[in-house]
A and B are shown apart, each in its own frame.
Chain A
């Protein structure tokens, strides 16, 4: 995996645990297969990355009925934050907070979990996307 792979870029908007977990699984997959991953945190996803709040209950998407919630919560898979740590450990994963969302919620870099590498504006994120794909989750 020495050749340069196209990056995979994820815009995380939703802050529910199921969507964050799905995004973290994609991130692990891309990272282990040698693709750089750019993650841009906006709105509710950004709020889930606040320091000390990562492992809080971020609820599930509206599709999750009570019965499904039980099934999802009982599953033994790793927490999304742990998957992201693993992805960073094996691959090139860069997590950036959207400057606009930071401003909206009156957040500083020190308010965020160390998983977040920095704060950037949308133009910088689009530059990192280069000729790769963008997924909005």
Chain B
């Protein structure tokens, strides 16, 4: 995993779909352009939904790492 400044961490493990995505959207809306957000999610839907939303909303998916039982997404607010 790369080392970068994380501005906000969202631990959504255990939340059902679409909870982790909604938490990320809420955090990004309140954040500043250029900030880095990380989300931990054990929801299978997040693996497709977070990349789909990030692309649609024109932010940047910096990294996705599959860990034991959950995935770790790093997203940069691009606009």
Contacts and interface: CB of A to CB of B under 8 A. Distances in A.
Closest 9 CB pairs of A and B: A77-B16, A28-B18, A86-B22, A33-B56, A76-B16, A1-B56, A32-B53, A90-B25, A1-B57
Interface string A64-105: 000000000001111000010010001000000000000000
Contacts, number: 34
A25 B17 CA distance: 8
Interface footprint category on A: 10 to 19
Interface of A: 1, 25, 28-29, 32-34, 75-78, 83, 86, 90
Given A1-B58, A90-B25, 8 more contacts: A1-B56, A1-B57, A32-B18, A32-B53, A34-B57, A75-B16, A78-B19, A90-B26
Contacts of A77: 16-17, 19
B34 interface: no
Interface footprint category on B: 10 to 19
Nearest to B18: A28
B52 interface: yes
Contacts of B22: 28, 32, 86, 90
B31 interface: no
Given A1-B56, A1-B58, A29 B18 contact: yes
Interface in B27-79: 29, 49, 52-53, 56-58
Contact of A33 (B16, B26, B52): B52
